[in-house]
Each structure stands twice: as structure tokens, then as C-alpha cells.
Amino acid sequence: MSKSPIVMVSSYPPRLCGIATFCEEAREFIQKANPDRDVLVISHTDGGGEGVFPLIDNRRHDWWKPVADKIREIDPYAIHLQHEYGLYEVHDERSVGDSNRGFLNLLEAVAGRPTVVEPHTVHGRLRDQEAHFIYELCERASVVLFKCHYQKWRLNWTFSGMGWRTPRNIMVVPHGARSDRRYGMDEVPALRAELGLNHGLAPHLVGMIGWIQSNKRWDILLTMWEEIHDEIHRQTGQEWDLLAAGTVRDPSHVGDYQSWVEQTIRLEKKGIAHYHEFVPRGDTYYKMMAICDFVVLPSTDETQSGTLARIIALNKPYITTAPLEGLTAQALESAGGLLFTNRKMLREKVLLLATRESLRLQLGENLKRYLDEVVSWDVVAGQYNEAYELANQARKSRARVELPLEF
């Protein structure tokens, strides 16, 4: 007879949402780490699949009530909630939001049960509203999971400056990454053929892969690529193309999406770039990155990134923006990526990776080590289990979880 289940509360596929995709992968590995328990999901109304209860309708201020009722009915071993502000915000007829009040109401409604909350956006410099929300969240949850160490020590600095007690129920558990999607260089020709990209592309590719969002700033590299391309050829004699692949999912970003696709197509007509439209989900997402020699992620607003998790999963050298929250933190911790702070540095880093194969190999090895030892889903799922156990111990002892501060 199986033990009490684990219940995840989150957006979930088929919704095209980064947290939904994250939850789907996390669930797979939580289930693997807990073969004697079912792992169920309570999702928004557009989620679906086996073991998924699509109950969250945040057109209603009381969306949390049926969720709390379902949790009480299931009586789970642990409740693992994914949090992103936009997932739970309810707006009134004036379009004024409720500051995620319903999420806090849900935690109050299931008080006394083991709750583990995984917030996906915890900025190093919090707005006042964010600080208040995180304080209230930590008061109500058994355990809170931050993804980066800097988030924990910055929170201590912020709360101390406000004269608030710093919560001690915070664990650092990184964004998980798959360790079963690595491809060898000998597999790249077959992957190109499978993706329909085996004709007309240069032998070497710089990739910008993933959801096309305004904050990802593909235009920075697009406007520089022709000059960089010519310099790479001058230094090495090699042919390189820029592969820009993905699509838009947020209607508010359609303008940038259309502009950047047009820029890419203009470069494509010059024979130095290619645009490929695809939905960045599942195996295709990994395969599209796998055919690139390295990846550029010129984001201007990330606390951590699902795109970066896939780059790490493939042990793919990368270049990203700094100083920028989780992107910078993981680049430093993994020693697998290069950082830029201005256009000149981006140009230099792209040239450096394109002209030094030995550096690409070294960064790839560093990422392999980081993946295996720190961020693989198998490691992360074990840390989730530690959090569930802490939450259950707190429930039994009726004492709050007390963990050390980062510094």
C-alpha cells in the first residue's frame, strides 16, 4: 500500500508557462525519488493530465478555497507550492491586484500541515511590497526554498535594515536541470537532420534559443552579429551562423518578437544567420540547443532561468548578462559561462568562445561537474525530500523550522 501522497500546487501543462514546465520536470524526479508515494498536482483550470486536479481559477478572489478543500481531502505527506506573483494575482474591476492575498489565504487555510513553498522570483533588492509578501509567506510556510544563496543573505540584509526578524525556515535548493539530455558532438549531424536544419547552415552555430521575451534582449546580439561574424571568419577562416530559435508566448511581447524576427531574417538573407520557429518545450528544446557550439542569453531581468537550466543540462558553454541575480550567481558557481556588462564585452566574449575551442571544452567540463554534483534533478529531488521531512518534523513538534543564516 502506497504512503500518503505529495501534492504540488502550481501552473501545469498544457499551459505555456515556465513554471508549468518546471513543475512538470520537478514532478517527474520527485516521483522517482519517492516511488512509494503518488505525486499529485493541483493546477490552474488550464492544466491537465493524470493525477492533475485543475482547480485554481484566479478570476475568483476565493480561488484558494477549493484548493484547500482538495488538500484536506487528500491529506498529503507534504504540500509543495510553486510561487510566481503572476500565477495567483486576482484583479478587481479596476484592474487593481490583490497582492497575492489568496496565496497567503491558502497557506492559512492549510495551517498545521507540512507546507514547502518554492518562490521563483526573489530579487536581491526587494520592493517594499515584495518584502512584505516574503515576510508573510515565511511566517505561514513550514519551509521556504530559495534558489540561490545570494537571495538568502540579501534577504537578511534587507530585513535587518527594516528592523524585521529574518526568517530562519529558508533552505537554498537550486533550479534543477536534467542530466539525461546530454548529446555528444558525433550526434549533432543527426540532430540537425531531425530538426530540419541540416541544409544551408554553417558548420558552427552561436545560439539564442528559447521563449522570445522583451527581457531576453535578443536585439543586442542581432545588431552586432554581422561585424562579429566577419571578425570570426577573419581570425579563424571558419564559417559561423547565428541560430535564433523560439517563439513568443506573452501577447505584450509581440512587438519585440516581430522586430527581432525581422532582424534575424535580414541577416539570414545575407547568409550569416537563421531563424527557426518552434515552441520551446520537451526534447526539441534540448535538441535545438545541442546543435549550437555555445549559447548567448542576453537577459536583462532574471532571478534564475529555465533557459539557463537547459544550457547547463547540455553542458553548453554560454555568455550571459552581469550583474544579474541568479544568472551571475550560477555563472560564478559553475565556472561554465562568461559574463558581459556592455556591448564591447559581449563582442569580446563571443569572439573568445568562437575562436577558442579549448575554452569551450573547458567550460563544458566545468558545467558537467556542476550539473552532476550540484543541480541535477536527482540531487535537487533529494533536497526536496529533506525539506518535506523538516516540514513534517515541525508539524509533529509544533515548533518552527530553524536553519542557519547564510553568513
For the chain, give percent helix, strand, coil, nearest 5: 50, 20, 35
The residue behind cell 571544452 is 361
3-state SS class at 347? helix
Query: Scanning the structure block, which residue is given the C-alpha cell 501534492?
Result: 7
pLDDT along the chain (407 residues), means of 10: 91 96 98 98 98 96 98 98 97 94 98 97 96 98 98 97 97 97 94 94 97 96 98 98 97 97 98 97 96 97 90 98 96 98 98 98 98 98 98 96 95
Integer CA distances (angstroms), 193 to 25, 151, 190, 287, in order: 27, 42, 5, 11
Kindly state the greatest CA–CA separation across the chain: 68
CATH code: domain 185-375 is 3.40.50.2000
Residue keyed to cell 571568419: 233
Sequence-separated contacts (24+) of 21-26 with Cβ below 8 Å:
21/281, 21/306, 22/82, 22/120, 22/175, 22/306, 23/82, 25/176, 25/178, 25/377, 26/176, 26/377, 26/380, 26/381, 26/384
* pLDDT value at residue 400: 95
Would you say 125 and 81 are in contact if contact means Cβ atoms under 8 Å apart? no
Phi, psi of 84 (to 5 degrees): -140, 135
Cell of 147: 534558489
CATH homologous superfamily of 3-176+377-397 equals Glycogen Phosphorylase B; (3.40.50.2000)
Question: Measured between alpha carbons, how far is 86 from 137 in angstroms, rounded to an integer?
Answer: 16
CA angle 166, 79, 63 (to 5 degrees): 95
Condensed to tens digits (0 to 9), the pLDDT of residues 56-89 reads 999 999 999 999 999 999 999 999 999 999 999 9
Tell me whether the CATH fold assigned to 3-176+377-397 matches the one assigned to 185-375: yes
Where do the structural domains in the chain lie, given as residue ranges? Answer: 3-176+377-397, 185-375
Written as nine digits, the cell of 332 is: 560564478
Distances (CA, A) of 146 to 52, 56, 134, 143: 25, 24, 11, 10
Give the three-state DSSP class for 167: coil
pLDDT at 383: 98
pTM metric for this prediction: 0.96
Cell output for 350: 563571443
Taking the C-alpha atoms of residue 40 and residue 145, their distance in angstroms, rounded to an integer, is: 19
pLDDT the model gives residue 302: 86
The pLDDT value given to residue 1: 53
Separation of alpha carbons 325 and 15, rounded Å? 26
Find out whether 10 and 43 touch, Cβ atoms under 8 Å: yes
- Rounded to 5 degrees, what are φ and ψ at 207? -105, 140
Among residues 176, 181, 120, 187, the alpha carbon closest in space to that of 325 is found at: 120
The amino acid that residue 176 corresponds to is: G
Give residue 278's region: left, alpha or beta (phi > 0; psi -120 to 50): beta
CB-based contacts of 356, cutoff 8 Å, min separation 6: none
